[in-house]
């Protein structure tokens, strides 16, 4: 079932399978419709439709992904399969980034959507992440799989901050504001690692609603990365840029983020379509052991 149309039909079929699944999936469908409507309103009323608006779109898609993850937690009353460390990393990303974008405009879209819509989406993402962390550590703590979420990602934070100083750009013309923005970029690059590590330790199982969240992160990185692929030269062209590699690092960081999420999506789609040489349950022909894939599909919704 590699054809996108057939995959969509399969999704619709899941909606009518049962009452519980129907309610959950209909809410997801409605969420997509509302998000599409909001995107149209922003494009018409709060944007000049400049190319830089893809940054705002990327931020909005990321917010939508976090909302879908929160929806999954509330529907299933469980945080199983969700990495708290990834959520914590993204919380740090947004706190560092907002520390720059709320006060300086050097890394904002030049489109009108960069006046407040871009920052509003990041603030909304931060609020949703705080709710998710509350669910993980308080409300649904009994379902949190801490034994699988043990990647020591916090050790990377000092390195991210050090690189933030060394590889910072100069679009804000400020040591502090340029450093915190670059630090947020660096943490963003490693933020998904605990989630992928956790999925591998689980044997590659991932629920459909969780995959929607990962897919949203993937699309978000495509949007923002496409902007910086065309705009990195502006960073390197500044006379006060501390490193000639600053612009190249921004592109490299987003490429790494895209590769991490793309790896997940590739194996998810491969397993969803039956897989090459696999039977859909992670078992490959000629092998009696499960193939450890970062995103083999758990067929339950």
All residues at 6 or more sequence positions from 44 whose CB lies less than 8 Å from its CB, including other chains? none
Spatial distance between the Cα atoms of 38 and 85, rounded to a whole number of angstroms: 30
Q: Which two tokens stand for residue 84?
A: 């708290």
Q: Is 28 left (phi over 0), alpha (psi -120 to 50) or beta?
A: alpha
5-25 mean pLDDT = 54
| H runs (alpha helix) in the chain | 4-15, 19-45, 53-76, 84-101, 117-134, 157-166, 175-190, 193-201, 208-236, 246-272
Which of 218-222, 238-242, 279-283 is most confident?
218-222
202-to-20, 65, 195 alpha-carbon distances in Å: 25, 22, 11
> What is the reported pLDDT for 88?
97
Looking at residue 156, what DSSP letter applies?
G
| SS3 of residue 206 by DSSP | strand
Cα–chain-centroid distance for residue 121? 13
Q: Which band of pLDDT confidence, cut at 50, 70 and 90, is reported for residue 286?
A: very low
Closest of 196, 229, 218 to residue 262, by C-alpha: 218
Q: What is the pTM of this model?
A: 0.81
The segment with the largest mean pLDDT, out of 44-48, 71-75, 87-91, 272-276, is 87-91
Write out the DSSP string of 82-123. Answer: --HHHHHHHHHHHHHHHHHHTT--TTS-SSGGGTTHHHHHHH
- Among 10-14, 256-260, 281-285, top mean pLDDT goes to 256-260
**Contact call for residues 127 and 95 (beta carbons, < 8 A):** no
pLDDT level of residue 94 (50, 70, 90 thresholds): very high
The yes-or-no verdict on residue 243 having pLDDT over 70 is: yes
**Could you report the per-residue pLDDT of 66-90, keeping only the tens digit for each?**
999 999 898 889 998 899 999 999 9
């Amino acid at each position: 079932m590699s054809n996108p149309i057939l995959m969509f039909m399969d999704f619709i079929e899941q909606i009518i399978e049962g009452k519980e699944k129907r309610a959950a999936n209909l809410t997801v469908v409605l969420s997509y419709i509302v998000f599409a409507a909001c995107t149209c309103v922003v494009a018409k009323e709060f944007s000049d439709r400049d190319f830089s608006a893809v940054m705002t779109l990327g931020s909005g898609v990321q917010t939508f992904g976090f909302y879908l993850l929160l929806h999954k937690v509330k529907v299933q009353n469980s945080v199983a399969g969700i990495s708290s460390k990834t959520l914590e990393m993204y919380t740090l990303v947004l706190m560092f980034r907002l520390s720059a974008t709320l006060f300086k405009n050097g890394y904002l879209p030049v489109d009108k959507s960069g006046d407040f819509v871009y920052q509003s989406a990041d603030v909304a993402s931060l609020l949703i992440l705080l709710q998710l962390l509350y669910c993980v550590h308080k409300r649904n703590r009994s379902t949190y799989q801490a034994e699988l979420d043990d990647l020591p990602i916090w050790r990377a934070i000092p390195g991210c901050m050090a690189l933030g100083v060394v590889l910072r750009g100069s679009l804000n013309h400020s040591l502090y504001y340029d450093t915190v923005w670059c630090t947020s970029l660096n943490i963003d690059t490693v933020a998904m690692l605990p989630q992928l590590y956790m999925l591998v330790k689980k044997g590659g199982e991932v629920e459909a609603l969780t995959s929607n969240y990962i897919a949203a992160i993937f699309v978000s990185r495509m949007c923002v990365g496409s902007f910086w692929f065309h705009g990195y030269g502006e960073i390197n062209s500044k006379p006060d840029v501390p490193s000639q590699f600053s612009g190249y690092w921004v592109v490299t960081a987003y490429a790494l983020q895209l590769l991490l999420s793309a790896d997940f999506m590739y194996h998810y789609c491969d397993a969803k379509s039956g897989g090459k040489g696999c039977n859909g349950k992670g078992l490959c022909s000629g092998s009696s052991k499960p193939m450890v894939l970062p995103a083999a599909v758990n067929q339950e919704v």
